[in-house]
Amino acid sequence: MGFSNYPTEIDNSTSIPIATDLVTPIIAESVNRIRDAVLAIQTELGTDPSRAFGTVKARLDDLNGLIATLDEELARAVIAPVSGNYNCPTTVLIRDMVYLTASDAIDGANASDASKRPAIGMVMSKPTPTTAIVQYYGEVGGFTGLTSGDSLFLAETDGQITSTAPSADGSMMQEIGVVKNATTIVLMISRKFIEL
Protein backbone atom coordinates (compact mmCIF):
# COMPACT_ATOMS: atom_id res chain seq x y z
CA MET A 1 0.00 0.00 0.00
CA GLY A 2 1.37 3.43 -0.96
CA PHE A 3 1.65 6.45 1.29
CA SER A 4 0.80 9.14 -1.29
CA ASN A 5 -2.74 10.41 -1.82
CA TYR A 6 -1.89 11.65 -5.32
CA PRO A 7 -3.47 11.76 -7.92
CA THR A 8 -6.91 11.45 -6.24
CA GLU A 9 -5.94 14.04 -3.60
CA ILE A 10 -3.07 16.42 -2.98
CA ASP A 11 -0.61 15.12 -0.37
CA ASN A 12 -0.55 16.86 2.99
CA SER A 13 1.54 16.82 6.17
CA THR A 14 -0.11 13.55 7.21
CA SER A 15 0.84 11.62 4.09
CA ILE A 16 4.26 13.33 3.86
CA PRO A 17 5.13 14.53 7.38
CA ILE A 18 7.20 17.67 7.87
CA ALA A 19 10.74 16.97 9.06
CA THR A 20 12.82 19.21 11.32
CA ASP A 21 16.64 19.31 11.13
CA LEU A 22 18.39 17.62 14.04
CA VAL A 23 15.03 16.63 15.56
CA THR A 24 13.23 14.28 13.18
CA PRO A 25 14.93 10.89 12.92
CA ILE A 26 15.69 9.70 9.40
CA ILE A 27 13.90 6.40 8.97
CA ALA A 28 13.00 4.36 5.88
CA GLU A 29 9.32 5.28 6.10
CA SER A 30 10.08 9.01 5.78
CA VAL A 31 12.10 8.47 2.62
CA ASN A 32 9.56 5.98 1.23
CA ARG A 33 6.70 8.46 1.69
CA ILE A 34 8.55 11.02 -0.46
CA ARG A 35 9.50 8.30 -2.97
CA ASP A 36 5.86 7.17 -3.20
CA ALA A 37 4.70 10.75 -3.88
CA VAL A 38 7.33 11.23 -6.61
CA LEU A 39 6.38 7.92 -8.27
CA ALA A 40 2.67 8.86 -8.12
CA ILE A 41 3.40 12.13 -9.96
CA GLN A 42 5.58 10.38 -12.55
CA THR A 43 2.95 7.70 -13.14
CA GLU A 44 0.23 10.32 -13.60
CA LEU A 45 2.27 12.48 -16.00
CA GLY A 46 4.02 9.68 -17.88
CA THR A 47 7.32 10.10 -19.68
CA ASP A 48 8.28 13.37 -21.37
CA PRO A 49 5.05 15.17 -20.38
CA SER A 50 6.21 18.57 -21.67
CA ARG A 51 7.20 17.20 -25.10
CA ALA A 52 8.39 20.00 -27.38
CA PHE A 53 6.69 22.68 -25.25
CA GLY A 54 9.42 22.94 -22.61
CA THR A 55 7.08 22.71 -19.62
CA VAL A 56 3.88 20.84 -18.78
CA LYS A 57 2.17 24.20 -18.18
CA ALA A 58 3.08 25.39 -21.69
CA ARG A 59 1.74 22.15 -23.18
CA LEU A 60 -1.55 22.40 -21.24
CA ASP A 61 -1.91 26.09 -22.19
CA ASP A 62 -1.46 25.13 -25.85
CA LEU A 63 -4.07 22.36 -25.55
CA ASN A 64 -6.52 24.75 -23.86
CA GLY A 65 -6.02 27.18 -26.74
CA LEU A 66 -6.77 24.44 -29.27
CA ILE A 67 -9.90 23.40 -27.35
CA ALA A 68 -11.13 27.01 -27.25
CA THR A 69 -10.57 27.31 -31.01
CA LEU A 70 -12.45 24.07 -31.66
CA ASP A 71 -15.33 25.22 -29.43
CA GLU A 72 -15.59 28.47 -31.42
CA GLU A 73 -15.52 26.61 -34.74
CA LEU A 74 -18.13 24.13 -33.53
CA ALA A 75 -20.37 26.98 -32.35
CA ARG A 76 -20.15 28.61 -35.78
CA ALA A 77 -20.87 25.29 -37.49
CA VAL A 78 -23.96 24.71 -35.34
CA ILE A 79 -25.32 28.18 -36.12
CA ALA A 80 -24.80 27.88 -39.89
CA PRO A 81 -28.06 26.55 -41.34
CA VAL A 82 -28.00 23.45 -43.53
CA SER A 83 -31.09 22.47 -45.48
CA GLY A 84 -32.50 20.21 -48.18
CA ASN A 85 -35.45 20.11 -50.60
CA TYR A 86 -38.30 17.61 -50.18
CA ASN A 87 -41.75 16.70 -51.48
CA CYS A 88 -44.53 16.98 -48.89
CA PRO A 89 -48.30 16.93 -48.44
CA THR A 90 -50.13 20.26 -48.49
CA THR A 91 -50.85 19.85 -44.76
CA VAL A 92 -47.18 20.40 -43.85
CA LEU A 93 -46.64 23.97 -42.65
CA ILE A 94 -43.67 26.29 -42.24
CA ARG A 95 -41.85 25.58 -38.91
CA ASP A 96 -43.27 22.04 -38.72
CA MET A 97 -40.88 19.34 -37.52
CA VAL A 98 -40.79 16.59 -40.14
CA TYR A 99 -39.70 12.98 -40.66
CA LEU A 100 -38.79 11.06 -43.82
CA THR A 101 -41.72 9.19 -45.36
CA ALA A 102 -39.74 8.04 -48.40
CA SER A 103 -36.73 9.12 -50.40
CA ASP A 104 -36.99 12.92 -50.78
CA ALA A 105 -40.41 13.03 -49.08
CA ILE A 106 -41.43 14.32 -45.63
CA ASP A 107 -44.46 14.76 -43.38
CA GLY A 108 -45.18 16.09 -39.88
CA ALA A 109 -43.21 14.26 -37.18
CA ASN A 110 -44.90 13.10 -33.97
CA ALA A 111 -43.22 11.79 -30.80
CA SER A 112 -46.23 9.58 -29.94
CA ASP A 113 -46.48 7.82 -33.32
CA ALA A 114 -43.71 5.30 -34.13
CA SER A 115 -44.43 5.64 -37.85
CA LYS A 116 -43.84 9.44 -37.74
CA ARG A 117 -40.42 9.63 -36.16
CA PRO A 118 -37.60 10.45 -35.72
CA ALA A 119 -37.64 14.09 -36.78
CA ILE A 120 -34.97 15.12 -39.30
CA GLY A 121 -35.54 18.87 -39.45
CA MET A 122 -37.88 21.87 -39.56
CA VAL A 123 -39.67 23.30 -42.61
CA MET A 124 -38.30 26.75 -43.41
CA SER A 125 -40.25 27.52 -46.57
CA LYS A 126 -42.62 25.99 -49.11
CA PRO A 127 -41.78 27.02 -52.69
CA THR A 128 -44.96 25.21 -53.78
CA PRO A 129 -47.84 23.63 -51.81
CA THR A 130 -46.20 20.19 -52.19
CA THR A 131 -42.49 21.00 -51.79
CA ALA A 132 -40.56 22.15 -48.73
CA ILE A 133 -37.10 23.32 -47.76
CA VAL A 134 -36.09 21.62 -44.51
CA GLN A 135 -33.42 22.99 -42.18
CA TYR A 136 -31.44 20.36 -40.24
CA TYR A 137 -29.65 22.61 -37.75
CA GLY A 138 -28.88 26.24 -36.99
CA GLU A 139 -30.85 29.26 -35.83
CA VAL A 140 -34.56 29.60 -36.62
CA GLY A 141 -36.49 32.78 -35.79
CA GLY A 142 -40.11 33.87 -35.89
CA PHE A 143 -41.29 32.39 -32.59
CA THR A 144 -42.80 34.27 -29.64
CA GLY A 145 -42.81 33.83 -25.88
CA LEU A 146 -39.96 31.34 -25.62
CA THR A 147 -37.76 31.06 -22.50
CA SER A 148 -34.03 31.35 -23.14
CA GLY A 149 -32.11 28.17 -22.31
CA ASP A 150 -35.10 25.81 -22.45
CA SER A 151 -34.48 22.46 -24.11
CA LEU A 152 -36.89 21.67 -26.94
CA PHE A 153 -38.35 18.29 -27.84
CA LEU A 154 -40.41 16.77 -30.62
CA ALA A 155 -44.02 17.06 -29.42
CA GLU A 156 -46.81 14.48 -29.33
CA THR A 157 -48.72 16.53 -31.94
CA ASP A 158 -47.86 16.34 -35.66
CA GLY A 159 -45.11 18.82 -36.57
CA GLN A 160 -44.92 20.57 -33.19
CA ILE A 161 -42.13 21.24 -30.70
CA THR A 162 -42.40 21.52 -26.93
CA SER A 163 -40.26 22.51 -23.96
CA THR A 164 -41.85 19.67 -21.95
CA ALA A 165 -40.30 16.28 -22.65
CA PRO A 166 -42.87 13.69 -23.78
CA SER A 167 -43.68 11.16 -21.05
CA ALA A 168 -46.55 8.99 -22.37
CA ASP A 169 -45.97 5.25 -22.78
CA GLY A 170 -45.02 4.48 -26.38
CA SER A 171 -43.79 8.01 -27.07
CA MET A 172 -40.23 8.94 -27.96
CA MET A 173 -38.16 11.66 -26.29
CA GLN A 174 -36.08 13.34 -29.02
CA GLU A 175 -34.29 16.59 -28.19
CA ILE A 176 -34.40 18.91 -31.18
CA GLY A 177 -32.64 22.03 -29.90
CA VAL A 178 -32.49 24.85 -27.39
CA VAL A 179 -34.11 28.28 -27.03
CA LYS A 180 -31.70 31.14 -27.79
CA ASN A 181 -34.11 33.94 -26.85
CA ALA A 182 -37.84 34.72 -26.82
CA THR A 183 -38.09 34.54 -30.63
CA THR A 184 -35.25 32.26 -31.76
CA ILE A 185 -34.32 28.61 -31.34
CA VAL A 186 -31.16 26.76 -32.28
CA LEU A 187 -31.90 23.47 -34.02
CA MET A 188 -29.54 20.70 -32.88
CA ILE A 189 -31.58 17.61 -33.67
CA SER A 190 -30.38 14.63 -31.70
CA ARG A 191 -30.09 11.22 -33.34
CA LYS A 192 -30.11 9.73 -29.85
CA PHE A 193 -33.59 9.35 -28.47
CA ILE A 194 -35.38 7.45 -25.73
CA GLU A 195 -38.35 5.19 -26.38
CA LEU A 196 -40.78 5.57 -23.45
135: in domain? yes
> What pTM, to 2 d.p., does this model score?
0.58
CB 84 within 8 A of CB 106: no
61: in domain? no
pLDDT digits (tens, 9 = 90+) for 132-146: 999 998 899 999 999
39: in domain? no
Beta bridge partners of 151: 178
150: in domain? yes
* Dihedral angle sign, alpha carbons of residues 83, 115, 94, 161: negative
pLDDT digits (tens, 9 = 90+) for 12-71: 988 888 888 888 888 888 888 888 888 888 888 889 888 888 898 988 888 888 888 887
- The angle at the Cα of 16, spanning 15 to 17, to the nearest 5 degrees, equals 105
The boundaries of the domain holding residue 182 are: 88-195
Give the chain's domain count: 1
Over the chain, what is the mean pLDDT?
89
The answer to whether residue 154 scores a pLDDT higher than 60 is yes
82: in domain? no
CB 39 within 8 A of CB 31: no
